[in-house]
Amino acid sequence: MIATILRRGLYNPSTLCRNVVATRNLHVHEYISMDLMNKHNIVTPKSYVASSPDEVENIFSSKMNTPGEPIKSVTLKAQVLSGGRGLGKFQNGFQGGVHMVNTGEEAKDYASKMLGQQLITKQAINGILCNKVLLMETLDIEKEMYLSILMDRHSGGPVIVGSPCGGTSIEDVAKTNPELIFKEEIDVTVGITKSICDRMARKIGIDPETHTFSKATKLFTNLYDMFRDCDCSQVEINPLVQTPSGNILVCDAKVNFDDNAQFRQKDIFSKRDISQEDSREVDASNYDLNYIGLDGTIGCMVNGAGLAMSTMDMIKLKGGSPANFLDVGGGATEQQVEKAFEILNGDSHVKTILVNIFGGIMKCDIIASGIIKAAESVNLKKPLVIRLEGTNAVEARKLIAGSGIGVTIASDLEDAAVKAVSFV
C-alpha cells in the first residue's frame, strides 16, 4: 500500500521514498504472515485458520473460548490476497470480508457465506476466491497506528515508515494529512538502531514515559530482523495497536518477499497460493515468461522490458490499449514462444496480437519458427501483426512468408501499432 502511494505520487517524494517501482514479489496470506511474525518474537493476537464452516464453529467454541466461561467475540477474516477486504463484497451478495462474530453458530453461518466465494474489493474488481478464513481474538484497542519497512531506491536501502493514523487507508492519510507520515532511513550495513526505533515510536504517538515505549521499540527491532532474515521486500502493518494495558500487537499484516531469494527461502515460497493469482501469470511463470495481464485488447509479445514498455506506449499513442506486458526475454526458445502465443490466443479480451522483436541475442528466425508452430498448434484466428528487426530478420521474414499463416508485416514500431489498432 505504501509502495502504491509512492508510485502514484500521492505523497511528496522529497520527504518519503522516491523512485519506487512495481515489482513481482511473493505475497502470502495473513495467517502465514502472522505465524512468521510469531517465530520472530513479534506479538500478534491469538488466531487460528480454518477451511470449512464446521471447523470454524469448532475453533470458536473450543479454542477461542473456554467452555463454562463468558463467550468472547471473535473477528472472522477472509483470507484472500487483496487489500480492502472489510469493505469488499462477495459475489453471492454477502457484504464484507471481515466480521465480528459472537457465537459459534454465527461464526459458522458467516463462514459458509465466505468460503468458496469470490470476494470483490477495490484491488480485485473481478473477485478473488476465499478458500480459508482466519479467526482472531478481538482486542480492546486504545490506539491504532501504521508501520511498514520496505526497500527504497533513493536511499539505496530499507526505510521504516510510520504514522499515528492506523486502521484506515494509508493512501487516504497521504492525501489528506501527508505530514502525519514519517520515515527513517536504515543503513543496511548497520541495521536498525535504537535511535531510529525511539524516534519512530515518538512520531507515531507512543509515550516515551510508559513501558509501552520499550515494547514498541523492541517490536520494531524484531520486525527489521524478520525483514532482513526472510528477504522481505515489504512488511506492512495496519493496524499496529496499543491496548489499554499498554501492550503492542500486530493486528493485520501484509508481507512480500523478494523473488530473487527463492533459493534461500524455500519454506516460505512453498506457501505460495497460486489460486489467488492470475492463471495466465502463473502459466507464464512456469515457462520463465515475464507476463502481467492488463485490461486492453491488443496482446503484445516483445523481447526486452524496455521494448515492451515502448510498444505499449506506442499502442496507447495510436489510440489502442495493451492487453498485457509480455517479455519473452533475450534467450527465448521456440517452446517459450509457443506458450506465449497460447496465452495470448486464449485471452478472450485480446482482439489482435502484436509481435515486436528486435533481434540481438534473441535471433529473429527462432522467434519466427515459434510463431509459425504456435499459430498452427493453437489454430490462431486473431489478426497478427509482426515487426522483426535485427539478427536474422531477413531469414525470419522469409520463414513467415512461406508458412501460409495469416500475418501483417510492419516496417517499424509505429507502423506496427497503427496496423494493430486498425484491427480492433
pLDDT band at 401 (very low <50, low <70, confident <90, very high): confident
pLDDT, mean of residues 160-181 = 92
pLDDT at 371 over 90: no
Which position among 31, 146, 224, 287 bears the catalytic label?
A: 146
Of the candidates 340, 404, 344, 395, the one whose C-alpha atom is nearest the C-alpha of residue 372 is: 404
126: pLDDT strictly greater than 90: no
CATH 3.30.1490.20 fits 46-138, yes or no: yes
Give kind and range of the element (H or E) at residue 28: none
Q: How far apart are CA 374 and CA 380, in angstroms?
A: 8
Average pLDDT of every residue of the chain: 89
CA–CA distance, 69 with 279 (Å, rounded to integer) = 47
Binning pLDDT at 50, 70 and 90, where does residue 17 land?
Answer: very low
Q: How confident is the model at residue 19 (pLDDT cuts 50, 70, 90)?
A: very low
CATH number among 1.10.1040.10, 3.40.50.261, 3.40.50.150, 3.50.50.60, domain 279-422: 3.40.50.261
Does the active-site annotation cover 146?
A: yes
Beta-bridged to residue 354, according to DSSP, are 300, 385
Q: Which residue in 236, 281, 338, 342 is the catalytic one?
A: 236
Q: Does domain 1-44+140-277 have CATH number 3.30.470.20?
A: yes
Average pLDDT over residues 197-224: 97
Query: What mean pLDDT do residues 323-330 have?
Result: 87
Within this chain, domains 1-44+140-277 and 279-422 share the same CATH topology: no
Residue 144 confidence (pLDDT) above 80: yes
Q: How far apart are CA 336 and CA 350, in angstroms?
A: 19
Task: Judge if the upstream peptide bond of residue 13 is cis by omega within 30 degrees of 0.
Answer: no
Give residue 236's pLDDT.
95
CA distance 180 to 217: 19
| Rounded Cα distance, 373 and 340, in Å | 12
Question: What is the CA 305 to chain-centroid distance, rounded?
Answer: 19
Q: If pLDDT is split at 50, 70 and 90, which confidence band does 16 have?
A: very low
CB 424 within 8 A of CB 320: yes
Domain chopping of the chain, boundaries:
1-44+140-277, 46-138, 279-422
pLDDT surpassing 90 at residue 197: yes
Q: Quote the pLDDT of residue 261.
A: 92
The pLDDT assigned to 7 comes to 39
Concatenated DSSP letters of 333-369: -HHHHHHHHHHHHT-TT--EEEEEEEESSS-HHHHHH
Contacts of 20 (CB under 8 A, 6+ apart): 3, 6, 7, 150, 151, 152, 153
pLDDT value of residue 79: 96
% of the chain with per-residue pLDDT over 70: 94
- The pTM is what? 0.76
| pLDDT above 70 (res 23) | no
- 31 labelled catalytic: no
Query: pLDDT per residue over 262-321, tens digit each?
Result: 999 999 999 998 888 888 888 888 888 889 988 899 999 998 888 999 999 999 999 999
In this predicted structure, the answer to whether residue 97 has a pLDDT above a threshold of 90 is yes
Mean pLDDT of 396-409: 88
Contacts of 381 (CB under 8 A, 6+ apart): none
